Amino acid sequence: LTPFIRPFRWTRLLWTYLLPVVPLVVVFDGVVSVLRSYTVAELQAFAAELSGSGYEWDVGETAAQGWRAPVTYLIGYPAVE
């Protein structure tokens, strides 16, 4: 109903509709990102395919400070020969 309030202003639409949607979009993006994340086993399989690439791969999970969910990581560093 906001577009029908006179005088019409674009800023009124911004503050009424667009800005309140931003937190919902951020939450949706976060949930989808978590659902798309790889497991440790999947990351180890990816790293195993790259065994001859001259890198050593470290895969695992760690607890982040102040965070309940574990953080999965994949770190590649040049192999020492």
Q: Each residue of 18-62: pLDDT tens digit?
A: 788 889 999 999 999 989 999 999 999 999 998 777 899 999 999
pLDDT at 60: 95
Q: Are residues 46 and 81 in the same domain?
A: yes
Q: Are residues 59 and 72 in the same domain?
A: yes
Could you give the residue ranges of the DSSP H alpha helices within 1-81?
10-13, 19-36, 40-49
pTM across the whole model: 0.64
pLDDT at 17: 80
Q: Are residues 42 and 25 in the same domain?
A: no
**Is the distance from CB of 60 to CB of 73 less than 8 angstroms?**
yes
Q: Are residues 43 and 73 in the same domain?
A: yes
Q: Are residues 13 and 52 in the same domain?
A: no
Please state the domain count of the chain: 2
Q: SS3 for 74?
A: strand
Q: Which domain holds residue 77?
A: 38-81
